[in-house]
Amino acid sequence: MSKKLLSGPYLIWMAGFTVIPLILILYYGLTDRSGAFTMANVVSIATAEHAKALWLSMGLSLVSTVICLVLAYPLAMILRKRNVGKGSFVVFIFILPMWMNFLLRTLAWQTLLERNGVINGILTALRLPTQSLINTPGAIILGMVYNFLPFMVLPIYNVLCKIDDNTIYAAQDLGADFWQTLFRIWFPLSLPGVISGITMVFVPALTTFVISNLLGGSKILLIGNVIEQEFTRGSNWHLGSGLSLVLMVFILASMALIAKYDKNGEGTAF
């Protein structure tokens, strides 16, 4: 079949620019500067400095993911309810912010959170004590939730839209109350979207170095910052690759989760 030949350019491209690059990270991560095999780069995740950055990243991204889920689920349910007959307008409103340069949007939070910023200005006007908001772990969590919330809303919303109203009516006719319907019907049926959303928030939050840079000041180091610095300043690429391999474990785990819970690709965001 000549049709299959059409995938040729794509397969060559993916081999050259996705598969080989990942193999190179593996190679760099498992060798030292002289090219000899070593586990030192990967094991260095256990040093106090790196382990602290990893734990902090995991903590912050976990909290952000939970907040995103808690905010997004009711949001997706309301959107599903309101969307009837309104086309994609509502979703469109929620996607739109994603398209303004994400660095500038995150920087705008600096303006809002700063000591003399907008939020403290409002607090002062209300005669309330000002808060120190910027350069705290809380500011980083806010930045993560802000940037990645759409990636949680969209997959959940897409899956919720596929649930037949009659399933819900049946549950209600059989006497299920709101919470029973939520946990026994809505939630299990929307699991592919939830899992997809969780990975789409958790992975970028875990690996970010930009949000921590912009909203956390220079004092808070996440694992993404450590890796970025190894490549741009420290230029120990082997160490940076080794630490990236550790991150890959989390990414692979998410891929496995998606493969398990979202076999038909229902939970895609776009």
Partner 1 sequence: MKKTKNTLKRILEDFYLVLIMVFLYAPIATLMVLSFSNSKSRTQWGGFTLRWYGEMFESATIMTALQNTLVIAFASALIATVIGTAAAIAINSMKPLSRSIIMGITNIPMLNADIVTGISLMLAFIAFGISLGFKTILIAHITFNIPYVILSVMPKLKQTSKSVYEAAMDLGASPLYAFFRVVFPDILPGVLSGFLLAFTMSLDDFIITHFTKGAGINTLSTLIYSEVRRGIKPSMYALSTIIFAAVLTLLIITNFAPQKKFEK
Please identify which residue in 48, 99, 164, 174 interacts with partner 1, judged by CB under 8 A. 99
Stretch that binds partner 1, among 36-44, 46-54, 111-119, 162-170 (CB under 8 A): 111-119
Please identify which residue in 67, 105, 172, 189 interacts with partner 1, judged by CB under 8 A. 105
Stretch that binds partner 1, among 31-39, 89-97, 163-171, 181-189 (CB under 8 A): 89-97
Please identify which residue in 155, 216, 240, 267 interacts with partner 1, judged by CB under 8 A. 240
Please identify which residue in 34, 35, 84, 101 interacts with partner 1, judged by CB under 8 A. 101
**Rule CB under 8 A: is residue 191 a binding residue for partner 1?**
no
143 CB-near residues (< 8 Å, 6+ apart): 106, 109, 211, 214, 215
How many other C-beta atoms lie within 10 A of the C-beta of residue 28?
18
Compare residues 9 and 175 and give the one whose CB is closer to partner 1. 9
**Rule CB under 8 A: is residue 118 a binding residue for partner 1?**
yes
**Rule CB under 8 A: is residue 111 a binding residue for partner 1?**
yes
Compare residues 10 and 37 and give the one whose CB is closer to partner 1. 10
Cβ neighbourhood burial of 6 (10 Å; 0-12, 13-18, 19+): exposed
Give least dist CB 3 to partner 1, A.
5
**Rule CB under 8 A: is residue 264 a binding residue for partner 1?**
no
Q: Of 20-39, which residues contact partner 1 (CB under 8 A)?
A: 20-22, 24-25, 28
**Rule CB under 8 A: is residue 67 a binding residue for partner 1?**
no
Cβ neighbourhood burial of 185 (10 Å; 0-12, 13-18, 19+): middle
Q: Of 130-189, which residues contact partner 1 (CB under 8 A)?
A: 146, 149
Q: Of 69-88, which residues contact partner 1 (CB under 8 A)?
A: 71, 74-75, 78, 81-82, 87-88
Compare residues 117 and 137 and give the one whose CB is closer to partner 1. 117
CA–CA dist 216, 241 (Å, integer): 24
Give least dist CB 148 to partner 1, A.
12
Start-to-end CA distance of the chain, whole Å, equals 31
- With the CA atoms of 43, 48, 54 and 55 taken in that order, what torsion angle do they form, in degrees rounded to the nearest 10? 130
* Per-residue CA distances from 65 to 72, 126, 202 (Å): 10, 32, 6
Residue type, 70: V
CA–CA dist 247, 231 (Å, integer): 15
Quickly list H helices, the chain. 8-14, 20-29, 40-43, 48-83, 89-95, 102-113, 118-125, 137-162, 165-173, 178-181, 187-189, 191-207, 210-215, 223-232, 237-261
Please identify which residue in 11, 40, 43, 46 interacts with partner 1, judged by CB under 8 A. 11
Compare residues 16 and 188 and give the one whose CB is closer to partner 1. 16
